[in-house]
Structure 1
Amino acid sequence: MERKLFIKKMALLALVPSVFIAACSNQEKSNSDAAKGKPQTYTCPMHPQVIKNEMGTCPICGMDLVPFEKNSNDKALKIDEKRQALANITTVMIGTGNLSGAKQLNGRLVVNPEQSSYISSRIAGRIEELYIRETGVKVAKGQPLYKLYSEQLATLQQEYLMAVAQEKQFQGDKIEQQIVASAKQKLLLYGQSENQIKQIVKTQKKDPYVVFYAPEGGVVAELSVTQGQYVTEGNPILRLEGYGQLWVEADVYPNEAKNIKMGQEVKVVIAGWEDQPQEMTISFITPALQSGTQLTQIRGSIPNPQQQWQPGLQANVFLPSESKSNVLTLPVDAVVRDGKGMHVWIKAGKDSFEPRLVKTGQENNNEVEISEGLKNGDQVVVTGAYLLYSEYILKKGKNPVEGLKIK
């Protein structure tokens, strides 16, 4: 309950500058419209569905209503100096400069499937003993995994013993030698080792039990059987994941993907291991966007010999970008991005602000190139742009860039 109250309080505090701006302009706007004889509507800053034709309070929360300029076609937003200071609205005169650096992409470490081993049953039988019974366990190469009881295996062993005995009676016969070799090969294919086959010949006894060992080391990621279960030939037993090499996947927007090439070298920094940057070669670029997003992915691999990193860790991928000179640049936060496009706010007068559609080019973590929509010397809002955006929607009930075109 305390957490919910805290979240509500923080949400109200976040709206204070916008609400205060609207509330402060309430009286002056009302007087101006009354003098011109224009009909004025009012709405609640917290509940925009409440619209009235006269000043008052919100029937839901009791907050004072503010002017709602739904029918106005004026793109300018009027805010006096006092309210600009309260909302921390600052501007800068845009000019040309140099733009360089690296673009940071959000990524993560994932398992490299090429490092995984899939172990299935070589022969039908019953799992007499399962040595690994849980996932997440580390397994070394050659470690016993399970013991299988198989009547089929016992039959093959008996055939091999008979073939060996027959060969002794006809020593040097090539056909008998081929029969022995064929019977031995069957046992090898069904998981018997050379030592086990020699032991069968030595004891002259068939053994229906066979122990299967890990062909590679790794971590048990999936266990598909239980002890006592009967399995058929090819039945999956378990899956081992190797962490000696991991994939790095990073999300990329379509406009960024055009600057990325296969074989390109990039820097990777693992969260928590900033002092150990890794060099990675991009080996794959996803050809389609992810479902429900406007993102594609790039992928590469990095070594992890000490297995200090686990799949799921956050990784930042830095794409080197070419340096540009004599380009118009702005801080990244000065550009408002929404479904209608990208725009900035221009200071058109002492207390007047107007939206302006722009096109962007290259950008890094701090700055973005403005390729179209602005000219050298324009006074652009650099802090408080999103506040002006929400204030415009609140007061006028529409997106500020509706009907705008890039100049």
Structure 2
Amino acid sequence: MNKNILYIALAIIIGLGAGWLIFGNGSSDTMANKDISDMSDQHDHSGESADQMWTCSMHPQIMQPEAGDCPICGMDLIPVESSADGLAMDEIKMTENAMALANIQTTIVGNAEKSDDDGMISLSGKIAANEENKTVQASYFKGRIERLNVNYEGQQVNRGQLLATIYAPDLVAAQQELITAVSLKESQPALYQAVRNKLKNWKLSDVQINAIEESGKVRENFPIYATVSGTVSEVMAAQGDYVNQGQPIVKLSNLNSVWAEFDAYENQIAQFSVGQKINITTNAYPNKKFEGTISFIDPVLNNATRTVTVRATLQNRDDLFKPGMFVTGKVKGVTQTMESSLAVPASAVLWTGERSLVYVKTNPNEPVFEMREVTLGNRSGETYQVSSGLNNGDEIVTNGTFTVDAAAQLQGKKSMMNQQIMPDESAMMRDMEMSFSNAFSSAFKEVLPSYLKMKDALVASNAVKVSAFAKATSKKLKEISTSDLGKMEKQHLTKGIEMLDAIANNDMLENQRSHFVILNENIVPIAMSVQNLNNYFIQKCPMANNNKGAVWLSTEEEIKNPYYGDAMLTCGSVIESL
């Protein structure tokens, strides 16, 4: 009996314990889930979605608050890193780990301090042959080169040295005349002297002429001697060649003096003048310094490099300087040192061709950077003088600048490759200020349907139809009267017809599209200026024309790219509506 009661009690205890474990934990789990649910409900995700921006990997200037397609090229947008809370629009933030891996270093800039090289401008250049000392050794008579004694560039030639031996039929006849004229020397001295002068004009010396007279024999081969000393810079004939009178045989350069030609930047031009002394060093003789004098400053600026040539003449009697050798020059310039001038390391500066850029650390306690455009002065060694763009005490990136710029580009911020300056091309076209009569405007509008068919054929990548519609468009444009057009209007129309003819006569789609770029540069401004042209759109693909961009006309707002067709059909945007 007692045992039964004990068994029942144990069963009740075990049942209660199991129930508590099952239902108690479930209740706890339920409560926990409820708490999590409540916390999730109370947590506001709108901030995350609102802060998340989307950009295009090929067009980082595109920034949108939601996913989608790039409005320029149609590619899928990618999310922008959203860890940079509280940053200005052009600021970027890097992690400490990224800073360490890229070895990014910064320096606080201050007023430029005077040094031993203060005011010295460093220039890089090359040694070049002195053009004033170049000569050409030519043949003085017609004939065949029987023997050529100068065979390679760099060969040293001394004055009076035999250069070549030439068989000259004209000289054979002139010698025979001389031998005949010797017998008439007393009776006809004028004739005799004329024959001698004829041979002298062919650069025969009196000794050679007297030898012909005394021997009474005709000489078939005649020598040509060097009239100056120098180094052969070019052999212009070969043994066995037939040369005319005055034809060059060799070019000689006298390297006793050479030119040291340096490239000076546009903002340094005012620092130089003819007659200035320049100290020159070269890698070949690092322990030697040579002194020269600036003898020439090129009056024409090189548009490609934005530099001018500064030239110094150097004596080279010891043959130390070789044309093509790299040299460095230092000139004491009229440096405009000011209290506010700053010096920055050359490694801090990025070049874009037209702009000089640095990255400034805007937050002293965090790795936050911002790109800034600066104006540079003279370069002295490995530092640049900054005339504007920086303030005393600014902290700039001096090592790893390209890494910071790459991070800015990936985050869709202002960078060296993305200046975020979108030129208003339609505004530039409107600045052309062309005017057309009602008659021309009406006739031009009749041409546009053919143009649109050609554009559609380019979209479809059908080269045959493109040629046919281009021919039809050209024919209609040629029928329009141009008697009342101004000079600029005629130029645009003429160039447009020229491009249409080029498209019509070409069966390669790539070439047709290249001509279509230039065609639109002339046709679109006309369309913008004619009267009462409605319901047309000017559209632009920024990637066409080698990423310079190209426009076209369309009657549909939807983008259908004629420069790429199906390969990038929706790449482009409407820049103006007519």
TM-score normalised by structure 2 residue count? 0.55
Q: Does 1:366 align with 2:378?
A: no
Q: Does 1:78 align with 2:93?
A: yes
Question: 1:158 aligns to what?
Answer: 176
Mapped contact 1:250–1:299 kept (Cα < 8 A): yes
Mapped contact 2:90–2:414 kept (Cα < 8 A): no
- CA-CA distance at 1:212 after TM superposition: 1.2
Question: 2:48 aligns to what?
Answer: 35
1:117 and 1:138 map into 2 onto residues whose CA distance is 14
Q: Measured at CA, do residues 397 and 142 of structure 1 come closer, stay the same or move farther in structure 2, by a change above 3 Å?
A: same
Task: Indicate the structure with greater strand content.
Answer: 1
- CA-CA distance at 1:204 after TM superposition: 2.2
- CA-CA distance at 1:74 after TM superposition: 1.4
- CA-CA distance at 1:118 after TM superposition: 0.7
Q: Does 1:279 align with 2:295?
A: no
Q: Give structure 1 stretches of 5+ with no counterpart.
A: 1-30, 55-64
Q: Measured at CA, do residues 126 and 32 of structure 1 come closer, stay the same or move farther in structure 2, by a change above 3 Å?
A: farther
Return the letter of the residue paired with 1:96. N
SS at match of 2:290: strand
Question: 2:150 aligns to what?
Answer: 132
Q: Measured at CA, do residues 266 and 144 of structure 1 come closer, stay the same or move farther in structure 2, by a change above 3 Å?
A: same
1:344 and 1:223 map into 2 onto residues whose CA distance is 51
Q: Measured at CA, do residues 41 and 282 of structure 1 come closer, stay the same or move farther in structure 2, by a change above 3 Å?
A: same
- CA-CA distance at 1:43 after TM superposition: 8.1
2:98 and 2:311 map into 1 onto residues whose CA distance is 48
Q: Does 1:123 align with 2:141?
A: yes
Return the letter of the residue paired with 1:203. S
Mapped contact 2:52–2:79 kept (Cα < 8 A): no
Question: 1:10 aligns to what?
Answer: none
Mapped contact 1:68–1:396 kept (Cα < 8 A): no
Find the structure with the greater CA-based Rg.
2
Mapped contact 2:271–2:334 kept (Cα < 8 A): no
Mapped contact 1:42–1:68 kept (Cα < 8 A): no
- CA-CA distance at 1:147 after TM superposition: 1.4
Matching residue within 339, 346, 354 for 2:360: 346
Matching residue within 92, 98, 104 for 2:107: 92
Question: 1:355 aligns to what?
Answer: 371
1:226 and 1:358 map into 2 onto residues whose CA distance is 58
Question: 2:546 aligns to what?
Answer: none
Question: 2:121 aligns to what?
Answer: 103
SS at match of 2:343: strand
Matches of residues 121-270 of structure 1 in structure 2 within 5 Å? 121-167=139-185, 169-170=186-187, 176=189, 178-270=190-282
Return the letter of the residue paired with 2:384. V
Matching residue within 363, 380, 384 for 2:396: 380
Task: Indicate the structure with greater helix content.
Answer: 2
- CA-CA distance at 1:364 after TM superposition: 0.9
- CA-CA distance at 1:101 after TM superposition: 4.6
Question: 1:302 aligns to what?
Answer: 314
1:278 and 1:353 map into 2 onto residues whose CA distance is 45
Matching residue within 317, 323, 327 for 2:329: 317
Mapped contact 1:98–1:325 kept (Cα < 8 A): no
SS at match of 2:272: coil
Mapped contact 1:262–1:283 kept (Cα < 8 A): yes
SS at match of 1:396: coil
- CA-CA distance at 1:190 after TM superposition: 0.7
1:161 and 1:32 map into 2 onto residues whose CA distance is 115
TM-score normalised by structure 1 residue count? 0.75
Matching residue within 293, 298, 301 for 1:289: 301
- CA-CA distance at 1:77 after TM superposition: 1.5
Mapped contact 1:43–1:67 kept (Cα < 8 A): no
Q: Give structure 2 stretches of 5+ with no counterpart.
A: 1-43, 68-77, 422-578
Post-superposition CA distance 1:347-383 (Å, at most 9, x none)? 2222122233322223312222222223333333333
SS at match of 1:293: coil
Return the letter of the residue paired with 1:149. Y
1:130 and 1:120 map into 2 onto residues whose CA distance is 13
2:359 and 2:313 map into 1 onto residues whose CA distance is 42
1:142 and 1:372 map into 2 onto residues whose CA distance is 62
- CA-CA distance at 1:122 after TM superposition: 0.8
Q: Measured at CA, do residues 32 and 306 of structure 1 come closer, stay the same or move farther in structure 2, by a change above 3 Å?
A: farther
Q: Measured at CA, do residues 79 and 209 of structure 1 come closer, stay the same or move farther in structure 2, by a change above 3 Å?
A: closer
- CA-CA distance at 1:221 after TM superposition: 2.6
Q: Does 1:335 align with 2:349?
A: yes
2:153 and 2:192 map into 1 onto residues whose CA distance is 41
Question: 1:395 aligns to what?
Answer: 411
Mapped contact 2:283–2:326 kept (Cα < 8 A): yes
- CA-CA distance at 1:282 after TM superposition: 1.9
Post-superposition CA distance 1:10-32 (Å, at most 9, x none)? xxxxxxxxxxxxxxxxxxxxx99
Mapped contact 1:358–1:374 kept (Cα < 8 A): yes
1:42 and 1:305 map into 2 onto residues whose CA distance is 65
Return the letter of the residue paired with 2:322. Q
Q: Measured at CA, do residues 206 and 82 of structure 1 come closer, stay the same or move farther in structure 2, by a change above 3 Å?
A: closer
Mapped contact 2:157–2:229 kept (Cα < 8 A): yes
Number of residue pairs the alignment of both structures matches: 354
- CA-CA distance at 1:283 after TM superposition: 1.9
1:101 and 1:300 map into 2 onto residues whose CA distance is 19
2:369 and 2:183 map into 1 onto residues whose CA distance is 101
1:32 and 1:191 map into 2 onto residues whose CA distance is 99
2:373 and 2:150 map into 1 onto residues whose CA distance is 62
- CA-CA distance at 1:230 after TM superposition: 2.4
